[in-house]
Amino acid sequence: MEKVLVVGSLNMDFAVYMERRPQAGETVMAQGMKLVPGGKGANQAYALGKLGAKTAMIGAVGDDTFGQQMLDNLEYVSVDTAGIKQIAGVETGKAFIEIEVSGQNSISVIAGANAAVDEELVLEQEELFAQADAVVMQLEIPVPSVIAAARLAKKHGKVVVLDPAPARADLPDELWAQVDITKPNETELALLTGLPTGTEEEVVTAAQALIAKGVKNVLVTLGGDGTLLVTAEQVEKFPAYKVKAVDTTAAGDCFLASFMSRFTGSNFAEAIDFGAKASAIAVTRQGAQTSIPTVEEVENFN
């Protein structure tokens, strides 16, 4: 995809690093904290830009310091931010992330300006849809806006990609019917379908339930167990790369963006492998956008 439009969220991440996350009522000493630009939409736009895809983004930030930092960071990797609205008197979205030494994390999100990404804001950027080859969306902005974006992308004959996170069970069939590619992990897939995903066979069955709703291709990321591609015609598994994880924040965002940076419309094996390499590198680094590798790093990874 030479030109990709991302419609989604922008958050400033407050990343706290600790030995383990506290239990209810417990206090745990942390080793440190970093402020890192994040948000699923911004992470994917940043990764696409850094990996060489011509990228634009639609979203919203506040008129605060964090909002300007988010815009500056995207523009640093040549992302077109003209579709990102700065809203007066509103705070930029924030995410509070507790990260264990194992790399696993827990995330709490305050929507802030992301809640203002309404259908009107999406529709007034129709020219960006017309210029793109693919439109990538997530679920950290209002669902009606995601549906409007999918509908507008289809109107212009674009590839529609949905990262269904944070996952929810009430997504309408109208949205699924417009999706060409979706990328849940096994936990998200269970929430989306109401079906168990404890085994690989169950994952395939749940993915096929999305196919039945009209989705053309389901990419299920299984962490260290690789990625499953499920379509109406096939099921194929692709391996992951074994690394020591430091921070898994934005690993899925990195995978999807790097996959899209190489995807031509049919070369799933090549694009998935590129995504697997990029996300393997990302989890060995701290932070969201700070963990994204360069094209050269991915191509030289083995």
Q: Is 29 annotated as a binding residue?
A: no
Q: Is 247 annotated as a binding residue?
A: yes
Read off the pLDDT of residues 63-117 as tens digits, 9 standing for 90 and up.
999 999 999 999 999 999 999 999 999 999 999 989 898 888 888 889 999 999 9
Is-catalytic flag, 72? no
The domain segmentation of the chain, as residue ranges, is 3-10+38-92+114-299
Per DSSP, what are the bridge partners of residue 30?
18
The pTM for the full model equals: 0.93
Q: Is 40 annotated as a binding residue?
A: yes
List the one residue out of 96, 48, 46 whose CA is nearest residue 73: 46
Class for domain 3-10+38-92+114-299, per CATH?
alpha beta
Q: Is 42 annotated as a binding residue?
A: yes
pLDDT bucket at 211, cuts 50 / 70 / 90: very high
C-beta neighbour count of 239 within 10 angstroms = 12
pLDDT exceeds cutoff 90 at 302: no
Q: Is 245 annotated as a binding residue?
A: no
pLDDT exceeds cutoff 80 at 1: no
pLDDT of the residue at 101: 87
pLDDT bucket at 44, cuts 50 / 70 / 90: very high
List the one residue out of 262, 232, 231 whose CA is nearest residue 133: 262
pLDDT exceeds cutoff 80 at 254: yes
**Mean pLDDT in the chain?**
95
pLDDT exceeds cutoff 90 at 286: no
Say which of 133, 180, 253, 273 is annotated catalytic.
Answer: 253
Read off the pLDDT of residues 120-144 as tens digits, 9 standing for 90 and up.
999 999 999 999 999 999 999 999 9
Q: Is 291 annotated as a binding residue?
A: yes
Percent of the chain with pLDDT over 90: 89
Q: Which residue is it, tokens 């924040």?
A: 249
Burial 159-187 (b: 16+ CB within 10 A, else e): bbbbbbbebeeebeeebbebbbbbbbbbe
Determine the 3-state secondary structure of 9 from DSSP: coil
Contacts of 117 (CB under 8 A, 6+ apart): 7, 8, 9, 58, 59, 60, 141, 142, 145
Read off the pLDDT of residues 177-191 as tens digits, 9 standing for 90 and up.
999 999 999 999 999
